[in-house]
Amino acid sequence: MLLTIGRNRSNPKEEIVWDSNDVINGHWIIVGGSGTGKTYQIKNIISQVKQQGVSRIHIFDPHGDISTSPDYTSSVRFSESAPYGINPLTVNPDPYYGGVRRRINSFIGMINRYSAKLDYRQEAALRYLLQELYSTFGFENDKPDTWACKTTPTLIDLINLVSHNLKSFFVGHMHAISTQIDYLSGQLLHLRRLNQQMSPNNGNDKNITALKDNLKTMFAHYIDNLTTGDEIDRYIKYDSQDTLKAIYDRMENLRALGIFKTHQPPFNPAQPIWHYDMRNLYVEEQGYLVELTLEQIFIKATQEGFKDEIDTLVFVDEAQRFISPDTPDHIIAVISREARKFGIGLVLATQNCSNFSEDIIINSGSKMILGVDEAYLHPLSKSLGIEPNRIRFTHPRKSALVQFKSKKASSDGRFIEVLF
């Protein structure tokens, strides 16, 4: 696959061409502020590669302004009122990259990234709830052959499970257990205080004896009324009705976002370009959509096996919204490390890549700097290892600094100034 980028400013007769067979991978970082030509370069790359063996191009468009010809584009506009969306609980069946634990960790991680962070009690309880939910649907943590179950739980199923356990705390056996345990704890504390105060003449010995007898009666009643062996375990796991109520509210808030739905978006499989128009989604909703869809793309690629050529290109505009240096297991980071051998090329377009993790920057074989705001100049210079003045003197829409890491000389970090 070949892309004509422009001409070498130092030698205008030299045409700068990107060759997929020469670069270490198909991943790009395109850095450009507003008005520097970032969208134009994305469209230029797409127009060149769509006829060179790429079977699918995904464009995640937060502003809805990356337009391509309707002759080869299937565009879906996402919104709260749209009947389609994505299931956040789909498990990757791949034994190396997937599994129940990974799905649970990813789901909790997404909540903490895009919504208010769960406290440690809520996170632990949600983890137990998800394990219980997957087990109910036949998914087992340590049995990869169960990870491809035909029926996958949904957010509605999770909400129903939380609701069921919450009702048990209010009116069922878990309510009785929690009430008795709380009361027992208070009585034991009272007994300890009486023991500490006891002396031969203070008369507390009768009170202590009575309290001990009362505790024995209560505990015997408590044991006699247990109906199943796992009730104490469930009480310990889910902590309290307050914790469950907080989780229930969070899951209902997620459902209210309008992006978590069971109907898949109606993309036309006959069209090579799938355009995700996200202009009507909040940033939080965009983050969930991008992350979960990228996971599906990666799942499909791993199931198809190793490939020598790039057959899937993924463009993520405003990528700085969705990743940060402290998320090494984010799907974008995973794709940057692992997806080359599965035929995926990832193009991250951003106004500032200084908040990208080092892994993502290192694992991006090609970089294009179109110009940035002065506020981003020095952080960008540091993260890419390039002189600030070289970035400062790029001319928006006329020139860029371009770097290709070659398989033959992968240590070559030379940036070339390219004229368009």
* pLDDT tens-digit map of 178-215: 555 566 667 667 767 767 765 555 555 666 677 667 66
Phi-psi region of 57 (alpha: psi -120 to 50; beta: other; left: phi over 0): beta
User: What is the phi/psi pair of residue 251, to 5°?
Assistant: -70, -35
Residue 26 vs residues 1, 177, 227, 320: alpha-carbon distances, Å: 10, 58, 59, 19
Q: What pLDDT shows up at residue 167?
A: 74
For 158-200, give the DSSP string: HHHHHHHHHHHHHHSHHHHHHHHHHHHHHHHHHHHHHHHH--T
224 or 280, which is more confident?
Answer: 280
pLDDT beyond 70 at 239? no
Mean model confidence pLDDT for the chain = 86
The pLDDT > 90 percentage for the chain reads 56
The pLDDT > 70 percentage for the chain reads 84
pLDDT beyond 80 at 263? yes
pLDDT beyond 90 at 73? yes
Give the confidence band of 170 by pLDDT, cuts at 50, 70, 90.
low
pLDDT beyond 70 at 74? yes
Helices 120-136 and 100-114 pack at an angle, to 10 degrees, of: 140
Q: What is the mean pLDDT of residues 321-335?
A: 85
pLDDT beyond 50 at 220? yes
Domain ranges of the chain: 2-80+265-419, 92-256
Q: What is the mean pLDDT of residues 330-337?
A: 92
pLDDT beyond 80 at 237? no
Burial (CB count <10 Å: 0-12, 13-18, 19+), residue 411: exposed
Q: What pLDDT shows up at residue 179?
A: 55
Q: What pLDDT shows up at residue 14?
A: 92
Q: Give yes or no for a contact between 237 and 128, defined as CB atoms under 8 angstroms apart.
A: yes
pLDDT, tens digit, 9 for 90 and up, residues 87-105: 999 998 988 888 999 999 9
Q: Report, in this order, helix, strand and coil percent for the chain, each rounded to 5.
A: 45, 15, 40
Q: What pLDDT shows up at residue 175?
A: 52
Q: Which helix (H) or strand (E) holds 344?
A: strand 344-350
330 or 31, which is more confident?
Answer: 31
Q: What is the mean pLDDT of residues 376-380?
A: 89
Give the confidence band of 165 by pLDDT, cuts at 50, 70, 90.
confident
For 50-68, give the DSSP string: TTTT--EEEEEESSS----
Q: What is the mean pLDDT of residues 356-361?
A: 90
Residue 314 vs residues 25, 26, 293, 318: alpha-carbon distances, Å: 13, 10, 11, 13
Q: Give yes or no for a contact between 312 and 298, defined as CB atoms under 8 angstroms apart.
A: no
168 or 416, which is more confident?
Answer: 416
Q: What pLDDT shows up at residue 411?
A: 47
Overall fold of domain 2-80+265-419: Rossmann fold (3.40.50)
Q: What pLDDT shows up at residue 9?
A: 92
For 215-281, give the DSSP string: HHHHHHHHHHT--STTHHHHHHHH--HHHHHHHHHHHHHHHHTS---SSPP---TTSSEEEEE-TTS
Its pTM stands at: 0.82
